[in-house]
Each structure stands twice: as C-alpha cells, then as structure tokens.
Structure 1
Amino acid sequence: MNFHSVPPLSMPWYRADDYAGVRDLCSDLPASFEEWEAGAIEYYKMGHKAFPKQKIEKIIIDAAALMAFAAEIGSDAVTRETRWKLAAKIAKEQFYS
C-alpha cells in the first residue's frame, strides 16, 4: 500500500430498488429516487469541480446497513451525518484493506 496516497472522498449512494427502504429511515431525503438522484449527480459534479485531482467514490448503502450502523454508533435516527459517516467508514475499509 502506498501511504502517500490520498484516500478518496466518499459519497453515500443508493440504488433505485433500495431507495424506498432508505427513504423510510431518512425523512430528510427527497420522496422519489429520481429527485434524489438528480440532486446527488449535481453534488457529485460539484465535488469534482471543487477537487479536480481528488477521487470521489460513490458508496452504495442500503437500509439494512444504515440501521446496523445507527445501532453501532448508538443513534436513534438515521440522519445525513449518519449516512456520510457510514460512507466514510466503508470507503476507509475499502481503501485500507
């Protein structure tokens, strides 16, 4: 492993078929997958413009993983912060393993 490498930035990402379950846990997300996806793609593009040399990984997360992580960190709710922390944890495990 190259310890001088910069780990990728991570972004929580959801599949269309998982979105209803994720949305049930996260009332702050848009009601439809299409609306969420359009916003997420724009956010992803903004990240690339802001950090052109930085790799940004889309981290696929489903409802089961969110529930398990929330329980692991002792959170009663799945918030935006919870989702981003889980994405970072998964990316770190993938990058450093």
Structure 2
Amino acid sequence: MEQPDTPVIAMAWYRPEEWADLRRLCPDLDDTYEEWLAQAEAAIEELGGSLNMQIVKTLLTADELRRWKRATGREVTGKIRSQLAVKAAKRQSP
C-alpha cells in the first residue's frame, strides 16, 4: 500500500509501434525501443525500490508530441517530455 508521503514520479512511456516516429521527433531517444525500455525499467526498479518512490507511467504519443512541437515551434527534448508526462499524470489523477 502506498504511503501518503511517498514521492510520486511521472515517467514518460511510449508504444513500441511508434518508436520510428518518436525518434524522428526526439533524436535524443535511444536508437531502439528495446534499449529505451531496458533503461526505463532499470530506472523504475531503482526509484521504486531503493529510493521508495511511486512511479506513474504516463503514455506520450507521437501525435501528442508532434502537436506540441507545432504549437510551440520548439524541439521535443527529454526535459520537455518529462514536463509533458507530469502534466498528463496530473490530469489523470483523481
């Protein structure tokens, strides 16, 4: 059971079938979905285990990132994806 004071981390999550599109939008992502997934799962294990944080996987789609890029004219960096994941997690929370 989650403790009330457990820090919550929103983590951007992606669909494997969108990886090619995501890489075109976000060239800083790993070359393959499998590489990214291995790193993401390792981060979840570390954050959730040793650091006792609750991780919320937040799906970001290629369409959503493309719309954001068009609307802002900015590049979709890791920092931006993290911020978008936090915003999406807040919208999804009860």
TM-score w.r.t. the length of structure 1 is 0.80
Match of 2:29 in 1: 29
Post-superposition offset of 1:6: 6.8
Post-superposition offset of 1:69: 2.5
Contact 1:61–1:87 (8 Å) recurs in 2: yes
Q: Distance in 1 between matches of 2:45 and 2:21?
A: 26
TM-score w.r.t. the length of structure 2 is 0.82
**4+ residue segments displaced more than 6 Å:** 4-7
Match of 2:60 in 1: 61
Deviations 1:14-55 (A, max 9, x none): 111111111111111111111111111111111102442x42
Contact 1:12–1:59 (8 Å) recurs in 2: yes
Q: Distance in 2 between matches of 1:43 and 1:75?
A: 30
Which of the numbers 79, 82, 86 marks the counterpart of 1:81?
A: 79
Query: Any gaps of 5 or more consecutive residues in structure 2?
Result: none
Aligned residues: 91
What is the aligned-residue RMSD (CA, Å)?
2.1
Partner letter of residue 57 of structure 2? K
What is the percentage of aligned positions where both structures have the same residue?
A: 32
Pair 1:21–1:70, CA change in 2 (3 A): same
Partner letter of residue 87 of structure 1? A
Post-superposition offset of 1:5: 7.8
Query: Any gaps of 5 or more consecutive residues in structure 1?
Result: none
